[in-house]
Amino acid sequence: MTKNHVELGANDRAHLQGLLSQTTLAVGRWRRAKGLLLLDEGATLQRVAQEVGVCSLTVAKWRDRYQVQGLGVLQDKPRSGRPPQIDGSQRAKITALACSTPPEGRARWSVRLLQGRVVELGYVESISHDSIHQILKKTLSSRT
pTM across the whole model: 0.58
The answer to whether 16 touches 8, Cβ cutoff 8 Å, is yes
The number of angstroms, rounded, from the C-alpha of 86 to the middle of its chain's C-alpha atoms is 18
CA distance 97 to 94: 5
Q: What is the pLDDT along the chain (144 residues), one digit of tens a residue?
A: 456 678 888 999 999 999 999 888 889 999 999 999 999 999 999 999 999 999 999 999 999 999 999 999 998 888 888 888 899 999 999 999 999 999 999 999 999 999 999 999 999 999 999 999 999 988 765 554
- Distances in Å between the Cα of 43 and the Cα atoms of 6, 7, 115 are 10, 12, 58
